[in-house]
Structure formats: C-alpha cells, structure tokens
Structure 1
Amino acid sequence: MKPIRVWLIPPGPNPWKVVLILEELGVPYEIVTIRFDDVKKKPYTDINPNGRCPAIQDPNRDITLWESGAIIQYIIEEYDTDMKLTYDKFPEKHHLNQWLQFQMSGQGPYYGAAAWFNVLHEEKLPTAIERYNAQLKRVLSVLDGWLADRQWLVGDKVTYADLAFVPWNERIDSIILCAPEEKFAGFPNVQAWHERMVSRPAWKRIMEIRAALMEESGLENATGRPARFKSHQEYEEAIARGENTDP
C-alpha cells in the first residue's frame, strides 16, 4: 500500500484528527508541511480551493479530499475493514456520524472562535471572550452529560467519533488561558474519557511527530506563528506585504 499524503500546518488541531485515525488503523501516511503564508495561494489552492488544512491525496484510490470530517469518513469506509474504529450496524453507524457532525459543527467552530478572541485577536473584546468561552463549556457539558454512564460516545469501544474530539480538547488550556490541570474543571466524565484516549500509543506517537515539526518550523506552540511576531495581526500583515516571515 502506498502512503496517503496529508497536508498540514503543524499547530492546527484539525489535521491531527486525520493523522490520529490513520495512526490508529496502521494506514501508512506521509506528512507534507505547508506554511501558513502559503495555504491561501497556489499550488495549495489547486488541492484545496478553500485554503485550509488538512487535505489528503490517496494514490491507492486516486482521490484528493479536503475537510477533516469528510476525510475521516473516507478513511474509515475505505480502510477500516475490520471495524476497529467503527460499526456497520444500525443504529450505531448513524450515531457515529451524528457525533462526528457535532464535533465539526460544535466543538471545532466554537473552540476556534474562543482561541481567536482569547489569544490571537489584538484587541481584547470581553463580550466575545465571554460568549465563546461559554460556548466551549456548553460543548463540554453536552459531552459530560452523555458520558455520565458510558465510557465511549457510541457502543462499547473507542471509535473515530471519540478520537475526533481529542486534538481540540487537548488544547483547551491554551484556548481559554487556564492551568492545564484546570481545563476540564467541572467536567469529570470528559476528563476521564479524554485521558483514556491521550494515553493510547497512537496519540503519543503523533504528538512526538507534531513536536518535531513545530521545532523544525520554529513556531510557537500556543499561537502557531513565528515567535518574533508580537501579534497575529502583525504576522498576517507581513504575509500580505509579501515579506519574509521565516522564524
């Protein structure tokens, strides 16, 4: 089997959902690191016209895909033939899709907005910070309630739906600027669920890869920008001017 090519920007959480699924399934892959400066222009926009990561190219099936949820569903359908991370029976297969959609429509956007207003936006807007921090905690409350009497979102094993939540939940402390040990305060069921997943060998392996890529790229862990820029706006303005933004 030829490796699946995965385009990613190392700091971003969404690509690591895809890499985690590939790692769990033992599907060979190769990472192509793209700079934030280049994600909105050719040749990458020929791969993903939306100019976001991740995107994949699978030479085994001759297909290119973007949008992490669509990629996860593709990998599961094509490569999880042993049903390691999925179910093919009714109603579990639909419930898995339900939770993946909640991750895509709820967790990702609200956590991303919270990260923007807490960390990246130059002007601190208390109302925006309050709103999106509250929405982040609302997502956690939904998960915590569901996990009160179960270990996994669907069925009796870890699935792709569970794993899709890990990268964003892992960075809650850097999003809402709290101590790492406080990021799941008030949500003990989510904390236990998350700890079950981050203790898995696949997660540990891909975080070693991420750490190496971050160091190689000279990027800050919290912001994803080169450390020499004082704000994300300064970084984006330098990109717009066509300046060299190397660390």
Structure 2
Amino acid sequence: MSSSLQPITLYAHGGSPNPLKVAIILEELSVPYKIVNLSSAELKQEPYTTINPNGRVPAIEDPNTGISLWESGAIIQYLVERYDGDGRISTTTVPEKYQLNQWLQFQVSGQGPYFGQAWWFLYFHPEPLPSAQERYINEVERVTAVLDSWLQSHPFLVGQKLTYADLSFVPYANAVLHTSAVSRNGKLFEAGKYAAYSRWLHVLLARPSVKKILAQFPPTER
C-alpha cells in the first residue's frame, strides 16, 4: 500500500465488536488508520452525529477520498473495493465476489444482531427474561450450526483462501468464547459440537491482524 496515504479515522466505542471488524480489515490491507474511541454520550451528539446520524459505531472518515461512511458492512465493502486492488482478501471473479457479499450480509444481519441480543438479555436487560435469553442462545447455536455445516466441506467461506467474509465473523465469534450463559451448563453454546467451525475459527484467530486487534481490545470475561 502506498506510503503517501493519510490515515483513515475509525470511530469506536471500547471493545465493541463491529469497529474491530473494520480494524482487522484495515490491518489486513496495510491501510494506515487511527482509532478514535468515543464515550456513550459522544456517540449521540455532534460532531459525531454529523458523520453517523444513527449514533453508533463504527464510522470512518477517509481523508484520501473525502468519504465518510457508517455501518460496518458498507465500510468493509468500501475498503475492499478501494484498497484491495491486488485481491489480498477478496476476489473479482464471478460468482465468488457475490458470494463474499452474501456471507458478509449473513454476518451483518445474522451473527451480529443475534449474538448481540444474547448478551443484552443475559447481562444488561434490567430484569431477567428467561424466554428472551433462551431465544437468543438458540440463535447463537443456529448461526454457528449454519457456519459449521458449510465449513465441513469448505476450508473457508468462499473459495480456497481466507477473505474479508471470514474475517468479518471474528470479533463476535471470539467474544462468545469468553461468554458464559445462565443455562446450558454455563456455556453460551457447546463449541465441541462444531468441529469444522472450531477449526476455521482457530485459523482466523491465528492471523497477525486478528491477534493485534484483539490484544488491544480483549473481550470481557462473563
């Protein structure tokens, strides 16, 4: 990557998983960046809401193009299209490039929201709601089972190499490893049931980019 690039600003909030997805992609692409950590109050007021009216993270500002974006999936697609011309973690072949987007959308619409809701109802909701807890623990299992089923006959989500689609699943998947539950023998899900998924996640967690980012924002043991 050109040394003349100016650093992209990545807005984050502690160890929230969605900004970590973006940081891992930036590391993989060797794009310079700086992380700006915002407080809960700062997320909901200007100047941040002029960048992201939704008041959540992540968002980026790219001084090299003048583009600002929010929503992690949109940011990842932008970074890959703009800065992965040599196809380090993407491809331009058909149908693979569409399949990569397919898996990214599954992460954004499936893994992220369901895993996030599991944590909310287990740890942050003001009153215990066992039915909600059970629903989202079941969804963690379901999403993991979908990935495991596919990975039983595929080394990675698309093709024969690791891509941004695989990497997008890392922060939430890693957080689950450090999360207990109020049922299921104290585990959010039984990792031993998913051998292919566990093998794949082990490969992802060994990536230098992943190790660097997760070391900066280690998940809280719960």
Q: Does the TM-score normalized on the shorter chain lie above 0.5?
A: yes
Structure 1's 174 and 120: CA in aligned 2 closer, same or farther, altered over 3 A?
farther
The CA distance in 2 between the partners of 1:73 and 1:164, in whole Å, is 11
Residue 47 of structure 2 is aligned to residue 43 of structure 1? yes
Q: Which amino acid aligns with 2:45?
A: K
**Contact 2:104/2:165, CA 8 A, preserved across alignment:** yes
Structure 1's 140 and 147: CA in aligned 2 closer, same or farther, altered over 3 A?
same
**Contact 1:172/1:183, CA 8 A, preserved across alignment:** no
Q: Which amino acid aligns with 1:198?
A: L
Displacement after TM superposition at 1:55 (Å) = 0.3
Displacement after TM superposition at 1:146 (Å) = 0.2
Q: C-alpha offsets along residues 32-91 of structure 1, whole Å, 9 cap, x if unaligned?
A: 110122211222111100001000000001100000000000000000011010110100
Q: 2:35 aligns with which of 7, 28, 31?
A: 31
Q: Which runs of 4 or more aligned residues in structure 1 lie more than 6 Å from their structure 2 counterparts after TM superposition?
A: none
SS at match of 1:7: strand
Q: Which amino acid aligns with 2:203?
A: R
- Gaps of at least 5 residues in structure 1 are 212-219, 224-247
| 1:52-201 alignment, distance < 5 Å | 52-177=56-181, 178=186, 184-201=191-208
Displacement after TM superposition at 1:173 (Å) = 3.7
Q: Which amino acid aligns with 1:14?
A: N
SS at match of 1:171: helix
The CA distance in 2 between the partners of 1:183 and 1:80, in whole Å, is 36
Displacement after TM superposition at 1:125 (Å) = 0.7
Paired residues, what number? 214
Q: Which amino acid aligns with 1:200?
A: R
Q: C-alpha offsets along residues 88-127 of structure 1, whole Å, 9 cap, x if unaligned?
A: 0100000000000000110011001101001111211110
The CA distance in 1 between the partners of 2:220 and 2:143, in whole Å, is 24
The CA distance in 2 between the partners of 1:145 and 1:210, in whole Å, is 30
SS at match of 1:30: strand
Q: C-alpha offsets along residues 162-216 of structure 1, whole Å, 9 cap, x if unaligned?
A: 0000000001144443469x752311111110110111111111122225xxxxx
**What is the RMSD of the two structures over their aligned residues, measured on CA atoms?**
1.7
**Contact 1:114/1:176, CA 8 A, preserved across alignment:** no
The CA distance in 1 between the partners of 2:190 and 2:102, in whole Å, is 25
The CA distance in 1 between the partners of 2:161 and 2:77, in whole Å, is 18
SS at match of 1:93: helix
**Contact 1:3/1:27, CA 8 A, preserved across alignment:** yes
TM-score by length of 1: 0.83
